[in-house]
Structure 1
Amino acid sequence: MDSVIVSKGRMFIGPEYYYYRSMFRQFAANHGRFRSTWNWCAFFFGPVWFLYRKMYVWAMVSLAAGVIPYLAIPLMIGCGLAGNYLYYRDFLEKSEKVEDSYSPDIQDKMLALAGGVHPWAKLAGIVPVALFYSLLFLSVVVPMCLPLLRN
């Protein structure tokens, strides 16, 4: 399995290859079973991180679940704990699909297209975060200042 991670991982992962190679090796050593690790980006930016890493189903699930009251914090923790493993599973599934569907001469290119990242997702993540903090400011700080402005 380590040879698969090394040979296909670089094409699939793209940026931060060495970080994820280390994580993937841990999961492979555990026979592919879940093992909690921590991913700060998945914790803070769950849906955006999933989009960035081209895990569309998890992006939609985490986005939908994140709007349910009292579920946002446990969801963030879950994304932080399981994000690396979910990415590992995504790598295995997509690399197997590419291997079964394409001739060896174009597998690297197709694997890079199936994996990699969406750079635009970072920018797309900035807008909701900025909106959230703007609304937080307007709903908390401004009402606190209103009595001072009346005097």
Structure 2
Amino acid sequence: VTPNHGPAAAMGCVLNGCSPGLCSVVLHESSDSKYWACLAPCRDPIASVNLEYLTLAMQTLKLDGRAPFFSLEPAPAADAAPREEWLQAKMFQPAWFEGTSAGEVMFQADVYLKELSMGEHPQPVVGMRSCMDMCQDDGDEE
């Protein structure tokens, strides 16, 4: 669990009673049907948000009008290179999202999901199958 005291302080908020800085975002509706949000302390890590990631995502929406996006793409020279030399390039949208903590988490999650799909790790969900499982079902040996 990442402490939220630093990001909260940067937003002008104090997280009293939050240990280790766990907080959630609470949505309120005013009498004229307008909505506003505030931070509230919480004790359950499952209900907690990572304020650094949340502020980066909100900043992306504000500046670029879209949610952040990450993908591993073939490197531009990959088409001409022998298969053993193929490389992949990180593609972030918006480009400034690269190098942020949330961008790095998106990269790590993408790699892990690809590894899961190729059968490099045990499947975390009952019934979830890798590409290798499906190939074995089809009778493919390779």
Q: Is this a same-fold pair by TM over 0.5?
A: no
For CA contacts below 8 A with separation 6 or more, give which structure has more relative contact order.
Answer: 1
- Look at both structures and tell me which one has the larger radius of gyration over its CA atoms: 2
The interval holding the TM-score normalised by the smaller chain is under 0.3
TM-score, reference length from structure 2: 0.25
TM-score, reference length from structure 1: 0.24
* Bigger share in helix: 1
